[in-house]
Structure 1
């Protein structure tokens, strides 16, 4: 047994380690559970009782030597690796700039819209994106066979029957939040409703199946069309600048009467004419009107006592005009080259 111990001592002394593979070979041969040192410890039980103490001490010394050599080899290889990486880094050099992200242009415009309306007394309301037919259509004067339903290419989730008020769908506008607000809050109501909406449209440079709207609602006594005009006139000037021109065109919406669409002078061509404004010099930004008395009645508000106005606009369209974005698909493609243009805004 002692002769075998001396032999292993010599093997340890003569073992050369110059890379990680040889280091692993050393470990497996001398200090692993199946190595020669472990085998000697297992053979200790065959040694005579009177010699077992002395042999055990020799084995412990051998084990400690193997572990110390392994540690020395490991440190030498680590030091060698650090030297191979080149000279130490100069800690006095300036660091790389902190590459922080930037807000999405739609988020920037959404926040600006909220800021403008909050300054004139509007709060912010939210509601579900998965909605029933009643809140998305029925309460807003959309009968089952009303042609206005054809304007909304709807994603139905669960259709229980033709014209069923319990049909579930992805909301086509944020007007559902207006209905829920009027049901649960007594006038005066002054709120805007930003959020995502969905329509079954072919994705192109001018249209998308998912986009963002912000709608507004003001219900109180003696609210007139002049209040609506003044509110949207103030918004257009604050969002696009004091030189922006605004015009109102008669229109139709089933939930407002009278109704009007709001145009502003094209911010891209400054009214000269381009493909964005279809060479007219004007761009539509919103639809609006006085809330139909029947809609008020559907929500439990007395139309004889209260009147109100509502409006709605696409955040993508506002962003397009403010930042001259000519393709709606850029908003959702996450192209870093596009998003980096909005750093610092």
Structure 2
């Protein structure tokens, strides 16, 4: 601030000259009118009302005037600053009104439209197929049984007549827990659930056991180290291969439609004797692939379903069931395979990648 001006001469204080004050006001009013946004107006306010603005500098010069001149200069500068302040307030109101009107247009919400606050998920088709398979047997009066995925080696192998030298006991097929001799494995099939059921429950037994299983396979189009199986077990007096065929036929008709034909082929499994593989007629070519063949069945007219057979007497005996009094049958299949057969899924990658778009196409029932 300038020192006292005892010899007052208005010419010496140019910031207070009426023409300069009026010019500062005109500049401010022009800048205010040109401000197109609230941010522009904020910058204009700082430039024309801030501490370094022309009117602020003029206001500070008033203190250097003699008392006789202060009143007139103060009134003139005050009126000028008031005009600028009023213009800023008016322009801010206009810009805020324009902003609010623009928001109403740009962010308008049609309240009559259905509201989706979060994207829809979908049940995985493996779960849906598993539930459909289970329902097929529950409808016939069977019960659902479950068991742990971390299983004792004895239940996973020995009780099922898989001796210590059986190839499936080797580490290239099975996930063993450290240390390897701990006797614990990630179950390689859901058959241990059948063993647990026979150990704790007296016949008659009719159970279906769906679940996740593990094998040391690489992920490719037809294999995955983690997959799902469903196995069925019946133990009662007088059960024969005819009962097994009847149960499989009923299951196939539920899954693939009435009139679907089946056939059996002799096979071998350590836990069943006799054992067989079941095929059903191809649902794509209906058993007549034609000269161009059929991609679904490979031109054979038949599709492999899964293994089955009468429960081995050694397995019944290991579970405390007298094989001279009771007999049983068991069969099972991979749920991923059932999904691929039923809906033409091309590979395992689609099932394990977790893309919800893959699951949505199946809806709520498959």
Q: Common fold, TM-score beyond 0.5? A: yes
127 and 304 in structure 1: CA distance in 2 versus 1, 3 angstrom threshold = same
Q: Residue in 2 aligned with 1:140?
A: 160
Q: In the alignment, is residue 102 of structure 1 matched against residue 122 of structure 2?
A: yes
1:1-345 correspondence runs (5 A): 18=38, 81-87=99-105, 89=108, 91=110, 93-95=112-114, 100-147=120-167, 149=169, 153-161=173-181, 166-271=182-287, 272=289, 273-343=293-363, 345=365
Once the two structures are TM-superposed, the CA of residue 79 in structure 1 deviates from its matched residue by 6.8
What is the alpha-carbon distance in structure 1 between the residues aligned to residue 149 and residue 222 of structure 2? 23
Preserved CA contact (<8 Å) 1:158 1:167: no
- Relative distance call for 1:217 and 1:79 in structure 2 (3 A) is farther
Shift of 1:269: 3.7
The two structures have a TM-score, normalised by structure 2, of 0.69
8 Å CA contact 1:20, 1:77 repeated in 2: no
Segments of structure 2 that go 5 or more residues without pairing to the other structure are 1-31, 47-91
- Superposition RMSD on alpha carbons, in Å? 3.3
Residue 128 of structure 2 contacts residue 364 of structure 2 at CA under 8 Å; is this kept in 1?
Answer: no
Structure 1: gaps of 5 or more residues: 1-15, 27-73
In structure 1, what is the Cα distance between the partners aligned to 2:171 and 2:310? 20
Alpha-carbon distance between aligned partners in 2 of 1:179 and 1:20, rounded to the nearest angstrom: 79
CA distance in 2, matches of 1:304, 1:198: 34
Q: Distance in 1 between matches of 2:113 and 2:277?
A: 56
Alpha-carbon spacing, 1:150–1:285, altered in 2? closer, same or farther (3 Å): farther
Structure 1 residue 265: Cα displacement = 1.4
CA deviations over 1:133-167 (Å, ceiling 9, x no partner)? 10110110111112454698111113444xxxx52
Please state how far the C-alpha of 1:175 moved relative to its aligned partner. Answer: 0.4
TM-superposed CA distance for 1:267, in Å, is 2.5
Distance of 1:134 and 1:247 partners within structure 2? 33
2:83 alignment partner in structure 1? none
Rounded Cα–Cα distance in structure 2 between residues aligned with 1:190 and 1:178: 10
CA drift at 1:82? 3.4
Q: Deviations over 1:188-221 (max 9, x none)?
A: 1110100011111121111111110000111111
Q: Could you tell which deviates more after superposition, 120-129 or 103-112?
A: 103-112
Aligned to 1:54: none
Secondary structure in structure 2 of the residue aligned to 1:284:
strand
1:255-293 residue CA offsets vs partner (Å, 9 max, x unmatched) = 110011111112344331434423212111111111111
Alignment CA distance shift 1:246-1:293 (3 Å): same
Deviation at 1:18, TM superposition (A): 4.7
Distance in structure 2 (CA, Å) of the matches to 1:218 and 1:21:
84
Deviates more, 1:230-239 or 1:274-283: 274-283
